[in-house]
Structure 1
């Protein structure tokens, strides 16, 4: 790390620490580093490696890109780790004889990846996933009975987290492989709600390939396969499939079908509090976010509803960062199409503040930032800087 970059990082660490109202001693203790090391980092007298930056970001409860002086380096690191994830998948059904930690430790490690996925901490997932996946493949290979079901759930959780990284970074083939492994593993759990979760994630492949009609069919089949909802988790599983099917139908141009699915999602959400169910955020707020997404998918006069929702509501901070940033990314597109470029740029900035990694890698952000730059050629330096930060297209 260069001296200039070390100073940038040090200033960011000090600023975020003050915003969190922590002393240097408190932050150092929370991050598990020596207070003298933290002082040198904040002064710019020494650099901070990836592990230290991640520990500091975790202690501060923020995305590591808020501290990183080189966002491109972070992205390159993710791509490097994607290759390691791909290598780990090669022996999913014939793993080596390496060690496997006790289930409580694996459960904790898996839960961390779920937490990082929901908060769009893709770099952290990418660094941990290769070793954890290999370990879980070994665990599944030797597990029997109830232990096999537990191992399957943990493996699906980690595969889903790794898939989020692959999908957001455009690694379509790796994303598809991870989803197929999830589908391979799911029957071992004999859990219809896990199957519903995998169907929800599988929809990504249809979004990516723009095969919306086929994706809608897969989601509707998954809904039909679910048993009658008898509790919050079951209601959430069915509701999540409906809200994703609504957006898929919207992309397919089937407004009537989309409206029906969204109405079903709202009914399911009325029966459960907002929360994380089997790794998926669901509840009234999540459905409202998808309402905006559906309006943007349908376009035309439906955009007015997206803008109307945003005038009276925005996602609360209790929603996962990835979902909140997604709301503002969708809203920016609606505002841009409505001829409100300044509002669109403000929404993109809000999305970046909430979840920098998610925003930076989002295809729509790059497209919209490129459009904004063309529309406002004499704009403020901040727009040009944002466009360069996300590698805007056009």
Structure 2
């Protein structure tokens, strides 16, 4: 990995951290970038170089294009996207893995859990960098396993594939994402867990979103809802509720207001019976359903946009929700505000999304579209808006 040793990089990082928004402490920057505090201090003092990987993470945490921090100021590039071919190679031989190490089950479980945390925190660069090796190791372990261990490894593979899929989908690699979804369905079969299979149906909806096949996606989710076990446990209620939550959004995209309303009401009913949490990799509970109410309103558009604004007037997502979900709320809200003529509010929402989950926000197509619209409207401080638009590659 190339190391940038120029002292000016550290000075520019310190400048953007302490002078330009978001005005972070070194500890806050370290936490946001998932870099050790001591490393941040040494980089800013010019006592150590910084790899491209670390620079990308710091730039995302600061909400600036990495080119603004580099000594050569060359064109920005996404290290996450550059890692996608390695991810494709890692899954090509899922059913005939090469020989290699296989760690104890406890270590594999911890590695899959870490990847899930990166996914929920929208740390896509880290996922793409580290997960190919984990996928290969889990495939080797499953190839050797039998009985109960085989079922658990199937579940771990689903989790790891899902983390990889999140990065692929958010980075626009939809063909790779669809392949990963199919591998999730295969691995769920190895686990022989109906609730796990239902959680995979939730993720599979991405392929319908990507193809704009909303009516077909709604049918697939309805089928999953019909075949999901009766919700007689907390986890069962959460899984069924998440399917209704997802169905409400895709019904909104299909402009089926009745179906969208029916599914979001069903999701709310189930959410009242559980605590907000992450169930089989999906956040669900009253707060998640509120966020999806905004998404449904934006999907339906027209007279429903006011519903999204009403939610935002009364409530904001709490800090303990996954970063990707919280940033998604503000991205959806920004679109509703823009449609309602609230351009200044829309820009504030986009900046809030960036502060919460920079990578998720930067690679979201709606963010680029809305930033471009705001530039054409010439709203907000031109330099600030131009900087934001440059950061997310808006035209």
| TM-score normalised to structure 2 length | 0.90
Is the 1:95–1:134 contact (alpha carbons within 8 Å) kept by the matching residues of 2?
yes
The reply to whether residue 208 of structure 1 matches residue 203 of structure 2 is: no
Q: CA deviation at 1:16?
A: 4.1
Higher RCO (CA 8 Å, separation ≥ 6 residues): 2
Offset of residue 40 of structure 1: 3.1
Q: Is the 8 A contact 1:179 1:202 kept in 2?
A: yes
Counterpart of 2:163?
161
Which residue, 30, 43, 46 being the options, matches 2:45?
43
Q: Distance in 2 between matches of 1:5 and 1:91?
A: 40
C-alpha deviation, 1:79, in angstroms? 1.4
**In the alignment, which of 243, 268, 271 is matched to residue 269 of structure 1?**
271
Tell me the residue number matched to 2:118. Answer: 116
Match of 1:224 in 2: 226
1:265 to partner: Cα distance: 0.2
State the distance in 2 between where 1:40 and 1:231 align. 50
1:78-89 alignment, distance < 5 Å: 78-89=80-91
Correspondence for 1:5 = 9
Matched length: 378
Q: CA RMSD in A?
A: 2.4
Deviations, residues 143-202 of structure 1 (Å, cap 9, x unaligned): 111101110111110100010000000001110110111111111111011101110000
Q: 1:355 aligns to what? A: 357
For 1:158 and 1:305, how far apart are their aligned partners in 2?
A: 36
The 1:51/1:80 distance shift into structure 2, 3 A limit, reads closer
| Equivalence for 2:377 | 375
Segment of structure 1 superposing worse, 309-318 or 5-14? 5-14
**Local SS of the residue matching 1:281:** strand
Contact 1:223–1:242 (CA under 8 A) maintained in structure 2: yes
Aligned 8 A contact 1:373 1:379 in 2: no
Matched residues in 1 for 2:43 and 2:233: separation? Answer: 50
- Residues 283-304 of structure 1: per-residue CA shift (max 9 Å, x gap): 0000000000000000111101
Question: Per-residue CA shift, 1:86-137, capped at 9, x if unaligned?
Answer: 0011100111121111110010010001001001111111111110011111
SS in 1 for 2:302: coil
Does the CA-based 8 Å contact 2:59-2:66 persist in structure 1?
A: no
Q: Is 1:253 matched with 2:255? A: yes
Show CA shifts across 1:324-381 (max 9, x none): 0000000000000001111100100000011000000000000000111111178421
Question: How far apart are 1:80 and its partner, in Å?
Answer: 1.8
Corresponding residue for 1:60? none
Deviates more, 1:328-337 or 1:90-99: 90-99
How many angstroms apart in 2 are the aligned matches of 1:21 and 1:372? 28
Residue 131 (structure 1) aligns with:
133
Asked if 1:291 is matched to 2:300, the reply is no
Which runs of structure 2 are paired with 1:50-61 in the superposition (5 Å)? none
Deviation at 1:67, TM superposition (A): 5.3
1:331-350 aligned at under 5 Å gives the runs 331-350=333-352
CA distance in 1, matches of 2:132, 2:97: 13
Q: Distance in 1 between matches of 2:11 and 2:123?
A: 23
Give SS of 1:368's match.
helix
TM-score normalised according to structure 1 size: 0.90
Question: For 2:146 and 2:373, how far apart are their aligned partners in 1?
Answer: 55
Contact 2:63–2:391 at 8 Å: present in 1 too?
no
Shift of 1:51: 6.4
Partner of 1:317: 319
Name whichever of 283-292 and 43-52 sits farther off. Answer: 43-52
Separation in 1 of the partners of 2:272 and 2:312? Answer: 21
Cα distance in 1 for partners of 2:361, 2:29 equals: 27
Aligned equivalent of 2:148: 146
CA contact (8 A) 2:64 2:391 kept: no
8 Å CA contact 2:287, 2:317 repeated in 1: yes
For residues 150 and 282 of structure 1, the distance between their equivalents in structure 2, rounded to whole angstroms, comes to: 23
CA distance in 2, matches of 1:210, 1:127: 29
Is the contact between residue 13 and residue 42 of structure 1 (CA under 8 Å) also seen in structure 2?
Answer: no
Report the Cα offset of residue 387 of structure 1: 0.7
Residue 50 of structure 1: CA displacement?
5.2
Native 8 Å contact 1:200 1:241 kept in 2: yes
